């Protein structure tokens, strides 16, 4: 590193930095930028606040470790504050008095992450935290931090290895041998909680003579994987994680205690007690058996309920489906841009019967009928090529949705039957509703077949031949003989209803879509509305295009409205929110609703209702004007995909105006005490 991780300029002692996590993070981010460690304090604060919104970073000892990776960070940096006014970071034992903001460059190497992980591990040591509380100067804090991040931990490990070897020998000779626990820890960023949970579990286990626990931290700075021999001999497994466990099949069949990573930090003793109990309980949940061909990244924890697993599987299907929709939808829109809207009447003949050396005129014969086009030559031919490519991509939308829902429930054996079921759904007219049903059926059936006890010689064929074959056969029989026609009738009725919508019914649907898009700003409700819009694009109907337009326009409203509000009435927002407002408008124009999350996290009771009101307005106006969108993403930057394009601008302006006025009014008439105190502190600083 070019600079030390922390300097006295990055330390704040016994100061009041605000009454909310966003206040504290904003102040520390400003110090990082002032120290030439970041190019944009607001970007660092926004990244850290967004991470905080996912799960509070408070840990035992009344310590908080907000952290982030951001392109604005130029040097791996720690900013520290000892607060005179403790702030609630959702810690287990009260408001945080000590706060470390860990800022890492985006895409940086692992060297700096190893240093950051050392700090995270030191925070579970009581003596280090006590020294932070009693330090008399900024330099003393710097020395304490450098003492732990520059330490050589490897020398202490051989001493620990010796007792473990003795324990290994005792296992075979004593009936009361230590209970062996294999643990894995991981968090979303892989910087702090991963290693804190690992060390908390290790320290808790070291105080017990009857426990032999070894941990594999799966963090950004890496870590040695557990020895397979130890895993095989383990009595029980602990998973403390927020992301999928890598290599989960190594633990197949073991009793498991599965919890979020924060619990590993805050309740290590409780988790160890639960693991000991699980090791002695023949009915305890176990890590799901999986073949080596299965994807461990999508395997559900054995302790998850089926409703939760189904919800995650549907989200998996949606995430894999979206690239097909995005590519196909944008190509269709480009096809219309180049070839004209009437090109859709004869695109197949245009691409199969013509070529760059045989360009079409403005009239061609399709199935014996002469069709005229507004354009000809290269524009018409290129538009048809783009449109045809988009059509091919859109044909995979429903199969991809179905296939990857099956994948989310059963791993790789669920993909093929899911795709087959999705293709059958398209064939019988069941559309995306059929794709949802066949995906769930494929996943459940494939998962059930995986539980069959089969001879060893047959087991290697199960995931690649037997399971896909039997599941596809069952799905085909169910769809053709039982479910296909009813689901097709449902889809046909839904399509007819959408096409018949006009007046108040269309406006009501637009209101509903707008409310859903702005309720959780990228969460499950928002994603459900987005799925409704994107999945319908494959139908290619005007009603589907209008729904997609309402989804995209209402989703653009929150970041734009909040950005404008911070410019109009900056005194109603915290300094951190004012900084966020400088860039939120661009996120809104790009249809990135998540740009409003920092505002909603800091003040949900004023922000979320205001944004829902604006989103409902935008959706209603969009549907009332009959605005259609043939692209699933891009915001205003795909204005050519809206018809009429001016209707999109009118609906967006209406929604933004309503949301802006609503949030300003709520903050004005129902003042936020946090904002008042922040403003008062600013006035005192200015007067001083």
Catalytically active residues, by annotation: 67, 187
- What are the DSSP E strand ranges found in 243-335? 256-259
Measure CA of the first residue to CA of the last residue in the chain; give whole Å.
37
Which is it for the CA torsion 403, 404, 410, 415, positive or negative?
positive
Instruction: Using DSSP, state whether 256 is helix, strand or coil.
Output: strand
Question: What letter would DSSP give residue 465?
Answer: I
Contact 271, 241 (CB under 8 A): no
**Cβ within 8 Å of residue 492, ≥6 positions away:** 429
Question: What letter would DSSP give residue 175?
Answer: T
Q: How far apart are CA 223 and CA 237, in angstroms?
A: 18
Structure tokens at 234: 């383990």
Structure tokens at 240: 């403390």
Radius of gyration of the chain (CA): 29
Q: How far apart are CA 114 and CA 200, in angstroms?
A: 17
As separate numbers, helices (DSSP H) first and strands (DSSP E) second, the chain gives 27, 14
**Cβ within 8 Å of residue 190, ≥6 positions away:** 113, 218, 219, 220, 221
Structure tokens at 306: 């089926």
CA angle centred on 617, ends 614 and 620, rounded to 5°:
150
Residue closest to 142 by CA, chosen among 68, 97, 78: 78
Q: How far apart are CA 392 and CA 329, in angstroms?
A: 11
Q: Locate tokens 């205690």: which residue?
A: 257
Q: How far apart are CA 278 and CA 249, in angstroms?
A: 19
Contact 242, 188 (CB under 8 A): yes
Q: How far apart are CA 636 and CA 645, in angstroms?
A: 9
Q: Is there a cis peptide before residue 590, judged by omega within 30 degrees of 0?
A: no
**Cβ within 8 Å of residue 113, ≥6 positions away:** 76, 104, 190, 191, 219, 220, 221
Q: How far apart are CA 414 and CA 437, in angstroms?
A: 13
Q: What H or E segment, with its residue span, contains residue 659?
A: helix 645-669
Contact 46, 598 (CB under 8 A): yes
Q: How far apart are CA 200 and CA 264, in angstroms?
A: 7
Burial class (CB in 10 A: 0-12, 13-18, 19+), 154: exposed
Residue closest to 252 by CA, chosen among 308, 296, 211, 310: 296
Q: How far apart are CA 172 and CA 471, in angstroms?
A: 44
Residue closest to 99 by CA, chosen among 20, 178, 162, 152: 20
- What are the DSSP E strand ranges found in 287-435? 363-366, 369-372
Q: Locate tokens 């009793």: which residue?
A: 255
- From residue 42, give the alpha-carbon distance in Å to each of 117, 168, 579, 596: 24, 52, 5, 14
Q: How far apart are CA 390 and CA 373, in angstroms?
A: 20
């Amino acid at each position: 590193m070019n600079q030390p991780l922390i300097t006295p300029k990055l330390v704040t002692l016994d100061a009041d930095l605000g009454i909310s996590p966003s206040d504290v993070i904003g102040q520390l981010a400003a110090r990082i930028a002032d120290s030439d460690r970041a190019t944009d304090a607001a970007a660092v604060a926004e990244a850290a606040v967004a991470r905080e919104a996912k799960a509070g970073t408070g840990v035992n000892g009344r310590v908080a470790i907000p952290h982030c990776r951001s392109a604005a960070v130029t040097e791996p940096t720690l900013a520290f504050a000892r607060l005179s006014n403790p702030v609630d970071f959702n810690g287990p034992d009260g408001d945080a008095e000590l706060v470390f903001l860990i800022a890492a460059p985006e895409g940086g190497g692992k060297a700096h992450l190893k240093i950051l992980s050392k700090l995270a591990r030191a925070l579970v040591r009581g003596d280090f935290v006590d020294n932070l509380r009693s330090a008399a100067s900024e330099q003393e804090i710097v020395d304490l931090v450098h003492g732990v991040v520059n330490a050589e931990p490897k020398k202490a490990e051989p001493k620990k290895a010796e007792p473990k070897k003795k324990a290994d020998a005792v296992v075979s000779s004593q009936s009361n041998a230590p209970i062996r626990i294999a643990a894995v820890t991981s968090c979303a960023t892989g910087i702090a909680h991963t290693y804190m949970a690992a060390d908390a579990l290790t320290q808790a286990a070291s105080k017990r003579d009857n426990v032999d626990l070894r941990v594999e931290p799966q963090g950004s700075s890496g870590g040695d994987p557990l020895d397979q021999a130890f895993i095989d001999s383990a009595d029980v497994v602990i998973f403390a994680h927020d992301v999928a466990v890598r290599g989960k099949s190594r633990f197949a069949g073991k009793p498991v205690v599965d919890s979020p990573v924060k619990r590993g930090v805050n309740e290590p003793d409780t988790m160890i007690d639960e693991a000991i109990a699980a090791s002695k309980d023949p009915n305890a949940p176990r890590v799901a058996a999986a073949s080596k061909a299965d994807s461990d990244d999508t395997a559900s924890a054995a302790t998850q309920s089926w409703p939760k697993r189904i919800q995650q599987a549907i989200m998996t299907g949606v995430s894999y489906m979206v690239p097909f929709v995005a590519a196909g939808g944008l190509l269709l829109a480009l096809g219309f841009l180049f070839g004209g809207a009437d090109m859709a009447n004869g695109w197949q003949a245009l691409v199969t019967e013509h070529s760059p050396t045989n360009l079409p005129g403005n009239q061609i014969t399709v199935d014996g009928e002469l069709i005229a086009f507004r354009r000809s030559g290269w524009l018409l031919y290129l538009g048809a090529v783009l449109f045809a490519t988009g059509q091919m991509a859109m044909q995979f939308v429903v199969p991809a949705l179905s296939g990857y829902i099956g994948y989310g429930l059963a791993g790789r054996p669920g993909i093929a039957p899911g795709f087959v079921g999705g293709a059958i759904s398209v064939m019988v007219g069941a559309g995306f509703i059929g794709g949802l049903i066949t995906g769930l059926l494929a996943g459940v059936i494939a998962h059930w077949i995986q539980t069959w006890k089969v001879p060893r010689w047959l087991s290697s064929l199960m995931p690649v031949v037997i399971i896909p074959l039997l599941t596809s056969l069952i799905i085909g029989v169910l769809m053709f003989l039982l479910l296909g026609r009813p689901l097709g009738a449902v889809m046909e009725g839904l399509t007819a209803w959408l096409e018949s919508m006009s007046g108040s019914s269309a406006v009501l649907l637009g209101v509903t879509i707008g409310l859903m898009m702005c309720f959780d700003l990228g969460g499950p409700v928002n994603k459900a509305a987005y799925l409704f819009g994107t999945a319908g694009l494959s139908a290619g109907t005007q009603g589907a295009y209008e729904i997609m337009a309402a989804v995209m326009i209402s989703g653009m409203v929150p970041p734009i409205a909040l950005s404008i509000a911070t410019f109009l009435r900056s005194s109603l927002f915290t300094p951190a929110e004012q900084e966020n407002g400088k860039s939120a408008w661009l996120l809104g124009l790009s249809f990135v609703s998540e740009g409003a999350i920092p505002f909603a996290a800091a003040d949900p009771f004023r922000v979320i209702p205001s944004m829902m009101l604006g989103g409902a307005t935008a959706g209603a106006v969009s549907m009332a004007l009959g605005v259609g969108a043939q692209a699933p993403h891009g915001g205003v930057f795909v204005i050519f995909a809206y018809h009429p394009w001016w209707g999109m601008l009118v609906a967006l302006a209406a929604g933004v105006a309503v949301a802006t006025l609503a949030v300003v009014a709520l903050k004005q008439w129902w003042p936020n005490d946090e904002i008042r105190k922040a403003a008062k502190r600013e006035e005192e600083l200015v007067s001083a």
